[in-house]
Amino acid sequence: EVQLVESGGGLVQPGRSLRLSCAASGFTFGDYAMSWVRQAPGKGLEWVCFIRSKPYGGTTECAASVKGRFTISRDDSKSIAYLQMNSLKTEDTAVYYCALHSDIYMPRFDYWGQGTLVTVSS
Amino acid sequence: EIAMTQSPATLSVSPGERATLSCRASQSVSSNLAWYQQKPGQAPRLLIYSASIRARATRIPARFSGSGSGTEFTLTISSLQSEDFAVYYCQQYNNWPLTFGGGTKVEIK
């Protein structure tokens, strides 16, 4: 059974950094692309960043709203995806979900974790 | 960026009735569209992909079906059950950045 467990959320001041982790199990992590998606309180879903599997170059894509501030990475030996968030802004406050893409060419979000809340406030 | 617009924002339906949700893309996304269901306090769940009636995700009941291509898409729930009252999102995966619609809340009438 696919399981994705996020951690690392919490309260952080504007301008500071935070790193989120997504621990995966139930599948061969290194074979699949992963993403982070966020949801601000009471709002809709916003895709954040995507990382391809190593056989496809391990390259990344990120939304314009976070480009230059957020970085997605992966450690296939530990089956963990990361989201490094720098220069955080109040508008980054959201629940952050990690998600698995079963098809690298058709990046729908097949499986989701339960999310971790990030609150950016002074 | 492809903008996704869902309508209506809220849909009031009685249990057992049919619900039809719409999603429009600002430019063609071919059939590269997915639908998700989200209940309060839970993560979203993939329902339909490839905007196709046959492309239901694992363990999704047959009362959920999708149709459309290009810019106009529809999610139909043939006979609403109590567990179907939730928010539904569409998402295009034809182009970067990946984008979602604003959601349709299906509530009990």
Distances (CA, A) of B56 to A7, A51, A59, A88, B91: 30, 25, 29, 37, 15
Coil, helix or strand for A52?
Answer: coil
Structure confidence by residue, pLDDT tens digits, A37-80:
999 999 999 999 999 999 999 999 999 999 999 999 999 999 99
Task: Indicate which of B35, B93, B94 best probes the interface with A, i.e. most A CBs within 10 Å of its own CB.
Answer: B93
What is the predicted pLDDT for the residue at B52? 60
In terms of Cβ atoms closer than 10 Å to its own Cβ (0-12, 13-18, 19+), residue A9 is: middle
Q: Closest approach of chain B CAs to the CA of A45, in angstroms?
A: 6
Beta-bridged to residue A4, according to DSSP, are: A24
Asked if the Cβ–Cβ distance from B43 to A46 is below 8 Å, we say no
* Residue B59: pLDDT band with limits 50, 70, 90: confident
Read off the pLDDT of each residue in B67-96 and give the average, rounded to a whole number: 95
Structure confidence by residue, pLDDT tens digits, A68-117:
999 999 999 999 999 999 999 999 999 999 999 998 888 999 999 999 99
User: Could you give the CA distance from residue B57 to residue A10 in angstroms, rounded to a whole number?
Assistant: 32
List the one residue out of B8, B2, B91, B28 whose CA is nearest residue A39: B91
Check whether B87 has a pLDDT greater than 90.
Answer: yes
- The gap from C-alpha A115 to its chain's centroid, in whole angstroms, comes to 9
Structure confidence by residue, pLDDT tens digits, B40-49:
999 999 999 9
What is the predicted pLDDT for the residue at B53? 54
What is the predicted pLDDT for the residue at A110? 96
- From chain B, the residues in CB contact with A64 under 8 A are 1, 97
Asked if the Cβ–Cβ distance from B46 to A111 is below 8 Å, we say yes
The 10 Å CB-count burial string (b at 16+, else e) for A79-116 is bbbbbebeebeeebbbbbbbbbbbeeeebbbbbbbebb
Residue that the structure tokens 């496809």 belong to: A56
Instruction: Measure CB to CB from residue B97 to each of A44, A47, A114 and give the nearest one.
Output: A47
Would you call the peptide bond into B8 cis, given omega within 30 degrees of 0 as the criterion? Answer: yes
